[in-house]
Amino acid sequence: MVPKSGSQLPNSRFILSESDFAREIGEALREELGASRLATKTVMRWTGVSDKAARSWLQGRASPSGLHLIALAARSEPVMTTVLRLTGHGNLEIGMRLRSIEAELLRMLAIVQYSKTDEP
């Protein structure tokens, strides 16, 4: 149970304030999307939040919670990586990267195979 009087989890070795969390998520979002109007609209589309909420997240002034954080992590590898790192599971990032590498290798293989079929 989380006490109502604080923003830190009890018995946790990962002490993180709400403002630090907001800053970390904002940095992850800007890493992937930048800080443009298009980035704000992308966050709005991914999560269904208002323009103001999306801008606050991108600027690191406020943080998403619950389903919004899950929606962002599902769409953004930097957000997912940040969540893993903040929860002490940074070693799982390698598995995510391997999936991305595998997908890219399969895409390249398909290009090579397609170009072979075009040769006489």
- Please give the structure tokens belonging to residue 45: 């589309």
Sorting pLDDT into bands at 50, 70 and 90, what band is 1? very low
Sequence ranges of the domains in the chain: 18-88, 91-120
Rounded to whole angstroms, the Cα distance separating 102 from 85 reads: 22
pLDDT tens digit string along 65-82?
A: 899 999 999 999 999 999
pLDDT tens digit string along 21-51?
A: 999 999 999 999 998 999 999 999 999 999 9
Instruction: Determine phi and psi for 87, rounding to 5 degrees.
Output: -95, 5
Span 82-90, average pLDDT: 82
Predicted TM-score of the model (pTM): 0.67
- Please give the structure tokens belonging to residue 113: 């195979």
